Structures are given as C-alpha cells and as structure tokens.
Amino acid sequence: MYTRRNPHGPSSPADSRADDAAARTSSAADWGLLLLRLTFGLLMAAHGAQKLFGVFGGDGLTATGRAFASLGYRPGKVFALIGSLSEFLGGLGLALGLLTPLAAAAVIGVMINAMVTVTAAHGLWETDGGVEYNVSIAVVALAVAAIGPGRLSVDRFLPWGRGGWAEAALALVLGGVGAAITLGL
C-alpha cells in the first residue's frame, strides 16, 4: 500500500487518519525483515546452543572449551562460555528485535574473533576454510542494526528501534572492542 507522505505533517484530518491507518498496517518490508531476523537470529542462537548445551548435534561446553583452548584462549571453557553466550543471546536478540544494536554487537564480536583466530589464514572462500561465512554473518548483523529491527519487533517502541547510523556504529564499535579485548587476553 502506497501512502503519500507530507513532510510537513497532515494537511487535513482525513490526511491524519490515512497516515494513522498506514502506520498501523505492516508492509511486505516489515514481514521480510521479520523473516530475515527470525531465520538468521534463530540459527545463530541454535549455533550457540550447540556449544552451550550440546543440542542440535553440538559437542557442549566442555568440548567447546577444549577447542577454544587449542586456539590459544585461556581458560578455554570461560572463553567458550563467552563466545557461546554471545551467539546464543545475540541470535535471540536479533530474532526478537530486542536490544538490537547490542545483539548485533555480540554476533559481530564473535565473528571477528572467528576470523582472526581461525579463518583469516585461509583466505576468502569458505571452501578453503576462509572468512566468507564469518564476514556474511557479521554483515547481516550490522545491516539489521543499521536498518533497525522493523515494526514487528520488541524494540519498535524504543529509541534505537528505527536503526540508523548511530545504531550501526554502536554495534560495530562494541563488537570490535569486545573482540579486541578478547583477543588481547
């Protein structure tokens, strides 16, 4: 549905009612963004749950901790818990559209760590073990922060619910700082 918007506000009560009705209906973009958030966010949450709880074919926290220790993270289980919770809670946040910039930052931070410690040495393409997949995940999380979670989200009533440059910058900076701290320890 296309509604002509007057940037100076409604010029008549009828225009005001039309704007109010358009604001209450959801568009294909709203539903498309919900589909993207749910698919991406729930898959990220499930990926974290594999590491945390050993579900969906995952190895659980103890084995994930050993894998983190083999990458140089000490103590491995603590860093596995941080990374797994970042994926799990970040994914749930993105799926629900809840605290979207922080959820995106959590996912971005984990992907930066994965790139630096595992995939960067193998180039770009996933077929060679490269960063392709990690970059894609980080960019989707950043894009959701920039676009905003949409009308069909918990954040829609909150100041950051519309997305924007500040929200995208916050997600990128917090994700980068979190990754840098983790890599520096």
Q: What tokens does 131 get? A: 């960063």
DSSP-derived 3-state class of residue 82: helix
Beta strands in 8-134 (DSSP E): none
Residues 89 and 164: their CA atoms lie apart, in Å, by 22
Tell me: pLDDT of 4 over 70: no
Residues of the chain with pLDDT > 70, as a percent, come to 88
The reported pLDDT for the residue numbered 3 is 44
Name residues whose C-beta falls within 8 Å of residue 160's C-beta, 6 or more positions apart in sequence.
100, 101, 148, 166, 167
Q: Could you read off the pLDDT of 166-176 as tens digits, one per residue?
A: 999 999 999 99
CA distances from 39 to 32, 84, 96, 140 (A): 11, 18, 11, 11
Write down the pLDDT at residue 84.
97
Compute CA distances 43 → 49, 137, 153, whole Å: 10, 11, 18
Cβ-contact 160, 90 below 8 angstroms: no
Q: Is pTM, for the whole model, over 0.75?
A: yes
Instruction: Measure the CA–CA gap between 17 and 75, rounded to whole angstroms.
Output: 60
